[in-house]
Structure 1
């Protein structure tokens, strides 16, 4: 898939920036875009140039969102402020605005709270996009489905001619994987979360959480029974297991693809959706 190859180049560049606290040169007068992704296990801030190339990235692990809802507003604001300050110190200019994202189907006050967090972090709230549509922007997906495996839910969005025609979001995600690991080892959720992120234990961990992954695949199968499509692309922080796309492919009897850093697909897509901001150098 050519579009996936292009997305992987952007993801690789962003991952390097996010893990080294460095920036690519940019003149704010030429325009930039900012995205903030409030995930179940982490908050990510993305800065792109006007051509959607990564300029800066930063993230912080957090427990402020559960099942798509913000449960700790103040901590969310504090983390976004820290990430914004970190970005401004490296970039050398202030970030004026940022876009955010919400789970599919989010309406009313639950949607507005994301904008409030961005504004409380001293940025203007720009666009509010649903998460699968954000992911589809980076993936250049006009036909097919995005399987977004988040911390609290698995969301499937089927796209036709560039627009979502069917969306479902079910409460099975990375948190459920952590709970299964905690039960298996008779340890705390915090200990299990740390174990889940340990690459050295990935193979054993995946064996333990396979029933959860199969439940995610079943949610996908039900969606595809109504709207069969291809390609299928799995994204999200909980999709980081190396074998997850293979498990989906076997269960669905259809090839499933995964970008190189699936946890950063939606955050970058959020930034891509933003209006270009022209700042002072």
Structure 2
């Protein structure tokens, strides 16, 4: 089954605008700024929107503070979020007050306190804490289907019906496992393998090497969606930036696949869109 290109103009335009302001922040007066804090296994991303929920700035940094969707380096997470916050404040000339954050599906009762304290410890007023699929759907705006978030440590799946999440799952397979496979195949350290993976010029070469682990991700997706009337899969998450991953997944699960222009930024933007001025 081939991948599909569906008319998600809002999603792709928002991501495109965000990429532009990451390179050149918009310095203008806004009554309020809303920040989305995405604590990922591989990256921490901050997305800043203005009073009209339009992107004005953003930043991200590689980090090892989260493992399998759980915060494992609490102080390190606070430090990085605080540094990114200060960096963005200097760029747009204001203090960022309000922030929202998100957790992988199925981990809310386990790690919501840690996420909350990281965001607050970095100097934000936390206004909302939600699950990542709901955040992503604020950007995707789908009514029916499955959102699959392939991150650094886990693959999260959320099935939506009539715009509501009716099922969630999260399993430990993601970009970290891709890097381990590359390290073994190329006799590289894990960090070098991770860097190698991120360079788009290596993606075509890496697909055959990574096919077994991509097919494992596909089998995880298939196992969770097969009992539901899912007609289309929507891929988000940094690991989905690997060119061609969607084609391998589509062939394994025999469902149409949609992947945004830059799936890494869908969830952090969705988190920011859920930010308000009402403090938790």
Class of the TM-score when normalised by the shorter of the 2 chains: over 0.9
Q: Structure 1: which 4+ aligned runs deviate by more than 4 Å?
A: none
Partner of 2:26: 24
Cross-structure match for 2:94: 93
- The secondary structure found in structure 1 opposite 2:99 is strand
**Equivalent position of 2:70 in the other structure:** 69
Aligned residues: 274
Q: Does 1:273 align with 2:274?
A: yes
TM-superposed deviation, 1:5 = 2.1
1:211 match: 212
**For 1:151-170, what per-residue CA distance to the aligned partner results, in whole angstroms no more than 9, with x for missing partners?**
11111100012211111111
Structure 2 CA distance, aligned partners of 1:26 and 1:112?
34
Residue 236 and residue 55 in structure 1: after superposition, are their counterparts in 2 closer, same or farther (change >3 A)?
same
Distance 2:250 2:51 in 1: 36
Distance in 1 (alpha carbons) for counterparts of 2:140 and 2:158: 13
Structure-2 change in CA distance of 1:8 and 1:208 (3 Å): same
More displaced stretch, 206-215 vs 48-57: 48-57
Could you tell me whether the CA contact under 8 Å between 1:39 and 1:151 is conserved in 2?
A: yes
Name the SS for the 1:9 alignment partner: helix
Q: Comparing 191-200 with 36-45, which one deviates more in the overlay?
A: 191-200
> Whole-Å Cα distance in 2 between the matches of residues 159 and 266 of structure 1?
16
1:12 paired to 2:13: no
Distance 1:85 1:113 in 2: 21
Matches of 1:131 and 1:140 in 2, distance apart?
14
Give distance in 2, aligned partners of 1:13 and 1:227: 35
- Correspondence 1:113 to 2:109: no
Deviation at 1:188, TM superposition (A): 1.1
In structure 2, C-alpha distance between the alignment counterparts of 1:11 and 1:58, rounded to whole Å? 13
Q: Is the partner of 2:218 in helix, strand or coil?
A: helix
Q: Deviations over 1:192-228 (max 9, x none)?
A: 1111112221111121111111111111111221112
Whole-angstrom distance in 1 between the partners of 2:45 and 2:71: 15
* Cα RMSD, aligned residues only: 1.5
C-alpha distance after superposition, 1:79-98 (max 9, x if no partner): 11111111111111101121
Any conservation in 1 of the 2:127–2:276 contact (CA below 8 Å)? yes
Unaligned ranges ≥5, structure 2:
none
